[in-house]
C-alpha cells in the first residue's frame, strides 16, 4: 500500500512525451514518476535525468550493459523496486535470461567480460554506504575503460597564438609610451604637428609685444626729466 497514491496518467503534455520511452523499456509508466507528478516539475526533471543517464554514447557501453550495471548497484543498495525495473529493462535491450539471472553472482560467472566485471565491481562498491571504492577497483575500471576511450578520442593540444596585427598594434603603442618617457625626445603624432603649426604664428606675436613694450619704456624715459624739473619748481613751468 503506497503512502502517496500515484496519479493514473501524466498530468501535462510535456510529461506525457516521456511515456513512449518508459513503455518501450518497462512496458508501463513507472509508479515512481506517476507519484512524483503531484509536483510536475520534479517528475519531468526525474524523467529527463533518467533518459540522459541511460543515453548511449559509445558502442561498448550499451543500453543492455547500463541496465545490468544499474541492477548490480540496486542490489548493493538493497532496493528491490530498482532491481525489478533494471532487470526488466536489461531484457528489453537484449540481455539473455542467463545474463540477467546470474548478475547477482557476476564475480564467479563466465557470462561477463573482464571489462564488464570491472564496471560491476565499481557500481557495487560505489552504491555501498559508506562508499567502498578503493584504489584497486578504480585502477581496474581505468584499465578497461578509460585507456581505450583515450585511444579512440586522443586529447588535442591547442596552441594559442596572439594574432599578428594585434602584436604590431601593441608594439606601436609601446614605442610611443617609451618615447614620451624619455626626456629630450621630440614628440610625434598629432601633438607635434599642432606645435609646428603654432610656432610660426607665435614668433611675430612675441616680437610685436616686445616692440610695444620697448616704445613705452622709451617714452617714459623721455618724459621723466620734464617731470623732475616740474617738481623742483613747485609745479610751475
Domain boundaries, the chain: 1-55, 61-155
- Rounded Cα distance, 89 and 54, in Å: 11
- Asked if 42 contacts 36 with a C-beta cutoff of 8 angstroms, the reply is yes
CATH code of the region 61-155: 1.20.1290.10
Q: What is the DSSP string of 144-194?
A: IIIHHHHHHSPPPP------HHHHHHHHHHHHHHHHHHSTTPPP-SHHHHH
Q: Which pLDDT score is estimated for 233?
A: 53
Q: Which pLDDT score is estimated for 14?
A: 87
Q: Which pLDDT score is estimated for 65?
A: 96
Q: Which pLDDT score is estimated for 202?
A: 46
* Short-list 25, 27, 145, 29, CA closest to 94: 25
pLDDT in 10s for each residue of the chain, 237 residues:
678 888 888 878 888 888 888 888 888 888 889 999 999 999 999 999 998 999 999 888 999 999 999 999 999 999 998 999 999 999 999 999 999 999 999 999 999 999 999 999 999 999 999 999 999 999 999 999 985 544 445 555 545 444 455 444 556 566 666 666 665 554 455 555 655 565 555 444 444 445 555 555 555 555 555 555 555 555 554
Amino acid at each position: 500500500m503506497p503512502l502517496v497514491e500515484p496519479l493514473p496518467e501524466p498530468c501535462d503534455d510535456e510529461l506525457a512525451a516521456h511515456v513512449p520511452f518508459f513503455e518501450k523499456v518497462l512496458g508501463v509508466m513507472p509508479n515512481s514518476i506517476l507519484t512524483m507528478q503531484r509536483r510536475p516539475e520534479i517528475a519531468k526533471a526525474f524523467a529527463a535525468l533518467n533518459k540522459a543517464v541511460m543515453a548511449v554514447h559509445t558502442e561498448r557501453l550499451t543500453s543492455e550493459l547500463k541496465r545490468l550495471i544499474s541492477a548490480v548497484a540496486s542490489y548493493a543498495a538493497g532496493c528491490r523496486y530498482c532491481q525489478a525495473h533494471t532487470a526488466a529493462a536489461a531484457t528489453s535491450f537484449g540481455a539473455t535470461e542467463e545474463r540477467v539471472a546470474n548478475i547477482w553472482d557476476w564475480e564467479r560467472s563466465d557470462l561477463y567480460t573482464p571489462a564488464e566485471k570491472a564496471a560491476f565491481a565499481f557500481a557495487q562498491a560505489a552504491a555501498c554506504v559508506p562508499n567502498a571504492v578503493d584504489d584497486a577497483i578504480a585502477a581496474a575500471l581505468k584499465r578497461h575503460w578509460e585507456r581505450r576511450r583515450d585511444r579512440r578520442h586522443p586529447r588535442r593540444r591547442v596552441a594559442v597564438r596572439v594574432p599578428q596585427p594585434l602584436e604590431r598594434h601593441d608594439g606601436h603603442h609601446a614605442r610611443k609610451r617609451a618615447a614620451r618617457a624619455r626626456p629630450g625626445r621630440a614628440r610625434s603624432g598629432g601633438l607635434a604637428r599642432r606645435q609646428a603649426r603654432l610656432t610660426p604664428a607665435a614668433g611675430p606675436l612675441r616680437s610685436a609685444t616686445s616692440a610695444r613694450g620697448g616704445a613705452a619704456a622709451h617714452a617714459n624715459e623721455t618724459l621723466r626729466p620734464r617731470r623732475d624739473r616740474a617738481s623742483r619748481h613747485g609745479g610751475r613751468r
